[in-house]
Amino acid sequence: DTGVSQDPRHKITKRGQNVTFRCDPISEHNRLYWYRQTLGQGPEFLTYFQNEAQLEKSRLLSDRFSAERPKGSFSTLEIQRTEQGDSAMYLCASSSATGNQPQHFGDGTRLSIL
Amino acid sequence: EDQVTQSPEALRLQEGESSSLNCSYTVSGLRGLFWYRQDPGKGPEFLFTLYSAGEEKEKERLKATLTKKESFLHITAPKPEDSATYLCAVPANYGQNFVFGPGTRLSVLP
């Protein structure tokens, strides 16, 4: 169990650029979640996958955001035409599908929009 | 709407000074309450799950308890290394995601 890993840890980009983040979940976990966290707040849910199927999306997930989990393993989150308000920590979590199990988080990607 | 609140927002303790953090929730049909610790620049680290009123869990200087509408995280004789933000979360009423509170920022001074 190597834990959830996220890449990159930090991303600085100019407004209007596209960015993509990667998440590798714990290998035996088939549920994968993306959250966004801003300073002084708890994580806010963005989207959820079970295996390769994207089953839930928050209304926070505008059409500039897209997430994939092509083979039910790693996932990517892409933000197109970034805006100042997209600056945040993007967290990935994974869990097993049995019952209400805890979600285990990676250390996030901190996105800064110039 | 599912809601989780935490108090206090921030707490400063002297080393060895015990205290409690509160987490209140409004979701119906609770399917577990989860406590996490988050250090600056890191992701939340899982601490405890509580499933039913009256349940208690302990880990080192931390003890979590649950009632029908709130949970407490008791910190006994804290040390500076316990300084962190403590988050609680519950599964959303509809869906598989967690709803998080805003956290309590704990500082333990030597």
Predicted confidence (pLDDT) per residue in B24-70, tens digit: 998 777 889 999 999 999 999 999 999 999 999 999 999 999 998 89
Q: What is the pLDDT of residue B28?
A: 75
- Model confidence at A108, in pLDDT bands (50, 70, 90)? very high
Q: What is the pLDDT of residue A97?
A: 79
Is the Cβ pair B4, A42 closer than 8 Å?
Answer: yes
Is the Cβ pair B41, A107 closer than 8 Å?
Answer: yes
Give which of B39, B55, B88, B97 to mutate to test A binding, by max A Cβ within 10 Å: B97
Q: Can you tell me the mean pLDDT for A30-43?
A: 96
Residues 6+ apart with CB under 8 A from A46: A33, A34, A35, A36, A57, A58, A60, A61, A65, A67, A77
A61 vs A37, A51, B92, CA distance in Å? 13, 20, 17
Q: How close does chain B come to A18, measured CA to CA in Å?
A: 23
Q: What is the pLDDT of residue A20?
A: 98
> Which is more confidently placed, B19 or B26?
B19
Show the tokens assigned to B5.
């609140």
- Model confidence at B2, in pLDDT bands (50, 70, 90)? confident
Query: What is the C-alpha to C-alpha distance for residues B32 and A15, in angstroms, rounded to an integer?
Result: 40
Q: What is the pLDDT of residue A1?
A: 55
- DSSP result, chain A: ----EEE-SEEEE-TT--EEEEEE--TT--EEEEEEE-TTS--EEEEEEETTEEEEE-TT--TTEEEE-TTSS-EEEEE-S--GGG-EEEEEEEE-SSSSPPPEE---EEEEE-
B101 vs A32, A62, B8, B94, CA distance in Å? 20, 23, 11, 17
Is the Cβ pair B49, A102 closer than 8 Å?
Answer: yes
Average pLDDT, chain A: 94
| Structure letter (DSSP) for residue B8 | -
B9-18: pLDDT as tens digits: 999 999 999 9
A63-107: pLDDT as tens digits: 999 999 998 899 999 999 999 999 999 999 999 977 778 999 999
Is the Cβ pair B100, A107 closer than 8 Å?
Answer: no
CB pairs under 8 A between A and B: 64
Q: What percent of chain B has pLDDT over 70?
A: 100
A102 vs B contacts (CB less than 8 Å): 34, 46, 49
- Model confidence at B95, in pLDDT bands (50, 70, 90)? confident
Q: Can you tell me the mean pLDDT for A3-14?
A: 97
Query: What is the C-alpha to C-alpha distance for residues A112 and B54, in angstroms, rounded to an integer?
Result: 43
Q: Is A60 on the interface with B (CB under 8 A)?
A: no
